[in-house]
Structure 1
Amino acid sequence: MSDREFDQTTVLGKVMAVLHAFTIDDATLPLAELARRTSIPKGTLHRILSDMAAVRLLDRSGTNYRLGGDLFELGMRASVERSLLEVAIPFMEDLYVRTHETVHLGVLDGTEVVYLSKIGGHRQATAPSRIGGRMPVHCTAIGKVLLAHGDNTLREKVLSGSLPRHTPRTVVLPGPLRTQLDRIATEGVGYEYEESAAGIVCVAAPVREGDDVVAAISVTGPSHRFRPDTHAASVRAAAEGIGVTLARRNRLLVK
């Protein structure tokens, strides 16, 4: 369930509250659960849900609701993410062929990583990441890379706030995390060692568009067989390739 708050005195606010009531793990939700998560009275909520289903923002199956197909179509029209995905996917596929481990592409949203794409085979590691899902920046390689190259205001907000422990190895003290971020900013690559989930290790590098870091790419594998440092050069090369291609595409679009 989303932590965002919406002005539910407006119809749009109620619609947004409904949409954000769905989490990455929810295939469907019944009316009663939507009412609980949104705090919208059931009578009002039923009318909102009917209107949303009529325009395919939601699909209804009996007494359950799920996010509608039109949301996917609208999401794929988001120009920045679509352009990034179109450019990144071939590089992600090459990285998967090279490593045979799970490849992620993520962007920063507040103090969280949003995963835009994930490529993995039959033996991929059991990671908590999902396409469209979120993870805190402090416990993932992608998150730490994005934070290390983000603005100082965001970095200090994260370092001065709560750093929840996801595993016994999660870095929850600001000092050690700050040291990691400084090293990432210098070396251009970041690591995670079982910090978001037990048995998972990861290496990530920033995707730059000009002077701005717009995303990060990573390779994740199980700790018993995957050595992140041996793939750092490949991940960095893929990230640089995505950035160069983005810059070239943008120059062509401007002309």
Structure 2
Amino acid sequence: MTTPGTTPGKREDSAPAKVHRGMRPAGELPGPGGRSVTSRVLSVLDAFSGERRRMSLSDISRRTAMPLTTAYRLVSELVAWGALERDRDGRYQIGLRLWEVAALAPRGPGLREAAMPFLEDLYEATHQHVQLAVLDGADVVVLERISGRGSVGVRGRVGGRLPAHATGVGLVLLAYAPPEAQERYLAGPLVALTERTVADPGRLRAVLAGVRRDGYAISDRQVQLDAVSVAAPVRDAAEGVVAALSVVVRAGDPQPGVLVPPVVAAARGVSRRLSSRA
């Protein structure tokens, strides 16, 4: 999961191949059932999750709805490349090579590196969960989290996803997203994780307007009934909101308003550091 560096460069030593209407690029030839080779490979990787970190070949075949022989061929190629690894029990897990490629994502390690000193300072000031997240489609992805022993238990993990409208970081990122992206999100469906989740488009639109007005968001027991988060935007040199950071505390201890100044200050510190690197 998560936090940026350099983006993979395009090859410049040859002209791109022309793709005519009705033709597919190499690697996109449909397999049995009309699915492309690429979609089948991606479905193998997508079968893994935080709850399913290791799977047998039969598990992968079942979860991808592919014949065992097809799954075996694709899995073997992924193992040879390093995208998957095989453990002592013969089960498969995500390989280190995939992490190396993911580390090239511009919203990954570089952003995390810029934010870490401020996340650490914020943690020392609060001794609560401190996290950094970005928006990816309809979800927030947690790039980094620092947690204390006595902190409230939280849903999700580093690299994990949560629906944006229920989280403090998600509300911030939605509030500053382009209007068309907001409208797509508001069109739903909006899942209610708890009885306090704002899942009505009209109410959510008002909440987002309030975030833009105030410059921070408070998610009060919307993800889980024992936790509250306070979040603020992280901006790049062009003043665009590229991430959000937050503190997650047990409901009622401390009061959210007390956390607003340090959270906003930390977010501004990360923003200044990103701007200085531009």
**Same fold, TM exceeding 0.5?**
yes
Instruction: Name the structure 1 match of 2:222.
Output: 195
Instruction: Name the structure 2 match of 1:128.
Output: 155
Structure 1 residue 41 corresponds to structure 2 residue 41: no
Cα distance in 2 for residues equivalent to 1:55 and 1:169: 46
Match for residue 45 of structure 2 among 13, 19, 22: 19
Matches within 5 A, 1:222-233: 222-233=250-261
Cα distance in 2 for residues equivalent to 1:124 and 1:148: 27
Instruction: Name the structure 2 match of 1:245.
Output: 273
Cα distance in 1 for residues equivalent to 2:141 and 2:119: 16
Q: Is the contact between residue 21 and residue 38 of structure 1 (CA under 8 Å) also seen in structure 2?
A: yes
- One-letter identity of the residue aligned with 2:262: S
Match for residue 203 of structure 2 among 154, 163, 176: 176
Instruction: Name the structure 2 match of 1:144.
Output: 171
Q: Is the contact between residue 201 and residue 226 of structure 1 (CA under 8 Å) also seen in structure 2?
A: no
Q: Is the contact between residue 228 and residue 249 of structure 2 (CA under 8 Å) also seen in structure 1?
A: yes
- One-letter identity of the residue aligned with 1:222: R
Match for residue 30 of structure 1 among 51, 56, 61: 56
Task: State the shift of 1:27 in Å.
Answer: 2.2
| Structure 2: stretches of 5+ with no match in the other structure | 1-27
Structure 1 residue 213 corresponds to structure 2 residue 241: yes
Q: Is the contact between residue 107 and residue 134 of structure 2 (CA under 8 Å) also seen in structure 1?
A: no
Match for residue 161 of structure 1 among 160, 173, 188: 188
Cα distance in 1 for residues equivalent to 2:105 and 2:165: 27
Cα distance in 2 for residues equivalent to 1:24 and 1:150: 27
- One-letter identity of the residue aligned with 1:184: V
- One-letter identity of the residue aligned with 1:205: A
Structure 1 residue 50 corresponds to structure 2 residue 76: yes
Cα distance in 2 for residues equivalent to 1:41 and 1:226: 54
Cα distance in 2 for residues equivalent to 1:28 and 1:226: 39
SS of corresponding position for 1:24: coil
Q: Is the contact between residue 111 and residue 154 of structure 1 (CA under 8 Å) also seen in structure 2?
A: no
Q: How far does the alpha carbon of each residue in 1:205-232 deviate from its partner, in whole angstroms, 9 at most, with x for none?
A: 0001122100000000111423221111
Moved more, 216-225 or 22-31: 22-31
Runs (4+) off by over 6 Å: none
Matches within 5 A, 1:78-89: 78-89=105-116
Larger RCO, structure (CA 8 Å, separation 6 or more): 2
Moved more, 34-43 or 84-93: 34-43
- Identity fraction in percent: 37
Cα distance in 2 for residues equivalent to 1:37 and 1:198: 32
- One-letter identity of the residue aligned with 1:182: A
Query: TM-score when scaled to structure 2?
Result: 0.84
Instruction: Name the structure 1 match of 2:9.
Output: none
Q: Is the contact between residue 218 and residue 228 of structure 2 (CA under 8 Å) also seen in structure 1?
A: yes
Cα distance in 2 for residues equivalent to 1:50 and 1:158: 38
Cα distance in 2 for residues equivalent to 1:143 and 1:80: 16
Cα distance in 1 for residues equivalent to 2:81 and 2:90: 18
Q: Is the contact between residue 201 and residue 220 of structure 1 (CA under 8 Å) also seen in structure 2?
A: yes
Aligned positions, number: 245
Moved more, 84-93 or 219-228: 219-228
> Which is greater in Rg?
2
Cα distance in 1 for residues equivalent to 2:59 and 2:244: 35
| Structure 1: stretches of 5+ with no match in the other structure | 1-5, 251-255
SS of corresponding position for 1:29: coil
- One-letter identity of the residue aligned with 1:245: R
Task: State the shift of 1:32 in Å.
Answer: 2.0
Q: Is the contact between residue 78 and residue 84 of structure 2 (CA under 8 Å) also seen in structure 1?
A: yes
- One-letter identity of the residue aligned with 2:259: H
SS of corresponding position for 2:234: strand
Instruction: Name the structure 2 match of 1:77.
Output: 104
